Chain A
Amino acid sequence: MTSVLIVDDELFIVELYRDILQLRGYRVTGTAFDGEEALKKYTASTDKPDVIIMDHRMPVMNGVDATKEIMKLNPSQKVIFVSADVLVEKEARDAGAVDFLPKPFRMDDLVEKMERIASLR
């Protein structure tokens, strides 16, 4: 079962992703509301997620910086960037994100990307 860490500063978005991904058979290993919390949880976790769903515009530490730090810890970590800021796509990919989805997107598109990543493992 593919495992996921969800990072977004909006509780209603985190709940939406969690509801849909759990329904589709994914295991949500954790949630974080900013980049720093994500980094702390990722570092402390013994159960590393297969995929991280990462927002960009968040307090304390943004998604691009969090992705850079996570990639330093584990260069093979798969991060899917999801953001309403379409202009950060290049920065996100340069930081190590394997894919980018501009908000609002269809959850089917997110699931399709997750499945593609899971099939590469």
Chain B
Amino acid sequence: MTEKHDLKKPLEQFAFFMDILGHDILNNNQAVLGYLELILAEPGFEKKVRKYAEKAVPHIRTSTLLVENIKKVLATRDIEPSSLKPIDLMGPVSRAPKNLERFFPDKTIKVSVNSKVEKAWVMGNSAVNDLVDNTLVDTVKLDPGRSVGITIKLTEHECGGYMCWSVRIENPNAALPPIVRDREIESIYREDSSTAVRVVGMLFAKMITSNMGGDFNAKELRSSGEKRGVVFTITLRKADGK
């Protein structure tokens, strides 16, 4: 790796070892996934054994997501106002179908981008890409169906005296975990670490956007008074001159 580490700093030590351990976990996940695929391809196994093997596959994906989340949290150590640069939100949005297919090979996911925006430059760093990717993954994870439809809408607007871009990610068939309904994300972070472990992706999104001068919201949609669906909104400051 070309990255240079200053191992005298505790955070750098932590990042260094998490990077190495995460890499090893992904290699081991690869081996487990590969051999499970071999088992599932064998016609001789009885139905029950096949079912057990199938049940193991999503847990490899979850383990991979956990490693990626750790990497993303570590990436936040670089966020300082002076380090922010223009990032195009359309980058992760346009990569969304391919990324989601990778994480959810057993689901059919349709992503519709509901705006004619070509570029949406905001002030951030590479964590912005992770933020959008992570939120999209959450939107699918919260949907129990095999066929998933997501709508993404980008809008430019004023927020707190600045111009901002917002990405609204909506899935009408997803549902927020009951433990986080009608609660502010910050309150979970402050008061309830046992709940926090269930919504680490949302806490991560809130932390990243706040550090970049923006915001993140998770809400349930309402239709005729009934709650249904989930909408996530990521708001970041627009990059000057873009």
Interface residues of A (CB under 8 A from B): 10, 12-13, 16-17, 19-20, 23, 57, 62, 84-85, 102-108
Q: Does B193 lie at the interface of the complex (its beta carbon under 8 Å from any beta carbon of A)?
A: no
Q: Contacts of A103 on B, CB cut-off 8 Å?
A: 26-27, 29-30
Supplied contacts A16-B34, A20-B34, 7 more A-B pairs, CB within 8 Å: A12-B31, A13-B27, A13-B30, A16-B35, A84-B27, A104-B34, A108-B37
Q: Do the beta carbons of B33 and A104 come within 8 Å of each other? A: yes
Q: Do the beta carbons of A104 and B30 come within 8 Å of each other? A: yes
Q: Contacts of B60 on A, CB cut-off 8 Å?
A: 104
Closest residue of chain A to B20, judged by CB?
Answer: A57
Q: Does B64 lie at the interface of the complex (its beta carbon under 8 Å from any beta carbon of A)?
A: yes
Given A57-B1, A84-B23, A104-B64: A19 and B30 interface contact (C-beta under 8 Å) = no
Q: Do the beta carbons of B34 and A57 come within 8 Å of each other? A: no
Size bracket, chain B contacts: 10 to 19
Q: Does more than half of chain B's interface fall in helix, strand or loop, or is it mixed?
A: helix
Q: Contacts of A102 on B, CB cut-off 8 Å?
A: 102
Q: Contacts of B105 on A, CB cut-off 8 Å?
A: 106
**1/0 per residue B85-120: CB within 8 Å of A?**
000000000000000001001000000000000000
Closest residue of chain B to A55, judged by CB?
Answer: B27
Q: Do the beta carbons of B26 and A20 come within 8 Å of each other? A: no
Q: How far is the CA of A102 from the CA of B22 in the complex (A)?
A: 13
Task: Name the distance in Å between B221's Cβ and chain A's nearest Cβ.
Answer: 32
Provide a sorted-by-A list of 17 A–B residue pairs whose CB atoms are within 8 angstroms.
Answer: A12-B27, A12-B31, A17-B34, A19-B38, A20-B37, A23-B38, A57-B23, A62-B1, A84-B26, A85-B1, A85-B23, A103-B29, A104-B33, A104-B60, A105-B30, A105-B102, A107-B33
Q: Do the beta carbons of B27 and A10 come within 8 Å of each other? A: yes
Closest residue of chain A to B19, judged by CB?
Answer: A85
